[in-house]
């Protein structure tokens, strides 16, 4: 697992950033802290902090296409300056004992593809693995990921290569491995809308088929996640709840009424109460309801 990408400057400047972005639970190992920034010394110090916090790996984000990140020369903004990336690689690698990895895009644009050169530099600098999101910065999240770029990186280095981009179903994960030879796949956006994707990939790999989440699965997931948001006093929790309930309930009969009720709720507890009332009103089997409550309480 990996944290959302976190500013190295912010981590060192404000301990509240650590509390918000670099918290994890004891059962979430192995877990990686993903950092972004452009100053080698700052990134090295932030990586040391992550190691001290108990992270198993540290990762450098060279993929984010957001303008506010790029304009600070972070994320994919660094893809036009490979010497600067090299200085960061060496500084962070020297700063920590835990594995150090990097996630990057293929390049700034179709005319500036640097993924193979960057991967080779990562290997030369002692990084443990590389992950490629097979789009350019200019693409953002539009168009299609070019999996052939993942194959090119895999052919160029000996360290593990992780493929990323356009894995929406278990069949896509299998196809990416088959077409590129990559050692693993990384799933980002799909995991938010379908957190069962990992279970489904395991099932598909083992027996060629997989189960869709049932109503009890969805109720347990929603309730557990929302209770965690409330317990942790997560900033913006009500907004996250309204976003995720929309994703988690597609395919559930009459769920449009639930989504409307949730959007109209004014507090986190009210959201949770409306979710509970909806699923209990749908007469979930008693065993499934008990299992979902057990998951929350544990």
Backbone angles phi, psi at 29, to 5 degrees: -80, 150
CA 161 from centroid of its chain's CA atoms: 17
β-strand pairing of 100-107 with 184-186: unpaired
**Residue pair 112/80 in contact by the 8 Å Cβ criterion:** yes
Compute how many other C-beta atoms are within 10 angstroms of the C-beta atom of residue 297. Answer: 8
d(CA 118, CA 88): 12
Question: How many CA atoms within 13 Å lie on the side-chain side of 229?
Answer: 20
**Beta partners for 59?**
34, 101
Query: Can you tell me whether residue 105 is helix, strand or coil?
Result: strand
Query: Can you tell me whether residue 147 is helix, strand or coil?
Result: helix
Please give the DSSP secondary-structure letter assigned to residue 39.
-
CA 86 from centroid of its chain's CA atoms: 24
Hey, which residues are catalytic here? 64
**Residue pair 77/70 in contact by the 8 Å Cβ criterion:** yes
**Residue pair 154/160 in contact by the 8 Å Cβ criterion:** no
Structure tokens at 169: 């179903």
Q: How far apart are the first and last CA of the chain?
A: 21
Please give the DSSP secondary-structure letter assigned to residue 214.
-
d(CA 279, CA 218): 9
């Amino acid at each position: 697992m990996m944290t959302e990408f976190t500013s190295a400057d912010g981590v060192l400047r404000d301990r509240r950033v650590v509390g918000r972005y670099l918290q994890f639970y004891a059962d979430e190992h192995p877990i990686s802290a993903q950092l972004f920034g452009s100053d080698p010394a700052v990134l090295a110090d932030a990586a040391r902090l992550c190691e001290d916090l108990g992270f198993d790996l540290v990762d450098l984000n060279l993929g984010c296409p957001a303008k506010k990140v790029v304009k600070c020369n972070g994320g994919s903004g660094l893809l036009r300056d490979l010497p600067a990336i090299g200085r960061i690689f060496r500084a962070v690698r020297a700063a920590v004992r835990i594995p150090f990895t990097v996630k990057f895009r293929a390049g700034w644009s179709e005319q500036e593809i640097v993924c193979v050169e960057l991967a080779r530099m990562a290997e030369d600098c002692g990084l443990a693995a590389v992950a490629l999101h097979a789009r350019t910065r200019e693409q953002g999240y539009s168009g299609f990921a070019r999996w052939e770029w993942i194959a090119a990186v895999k052919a160029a280095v000996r360290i593990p290569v992780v493929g990323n981009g356009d894995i929406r179903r278990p069949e896509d994960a299998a196809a990416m491995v088959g077409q590129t030879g990559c050692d693993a796949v990384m799933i980002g956006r799909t995991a938010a809308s379908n957190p069962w994707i990992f279970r489904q990939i395991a099932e598909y790999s083992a027996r060629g088929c997989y189960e869709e989440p049932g109503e009890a699965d969805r109720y347990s997931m929603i309730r557990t996640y929302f209770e965690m948001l409330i317990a942790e006093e997560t900033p913006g929790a009500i907004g996250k709840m309204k976003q995720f309930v929309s994703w988690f309930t597609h395919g559930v009969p009459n769920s449009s009424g639930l989504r409307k009720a949730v959007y109209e709720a004014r507090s986190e507890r009210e959201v949770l109460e409306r979710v509970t009332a909806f699923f209990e009103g749908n007469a979930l089997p008693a065993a499934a309801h008990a299992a979902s409550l057990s998951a929350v309480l544990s």
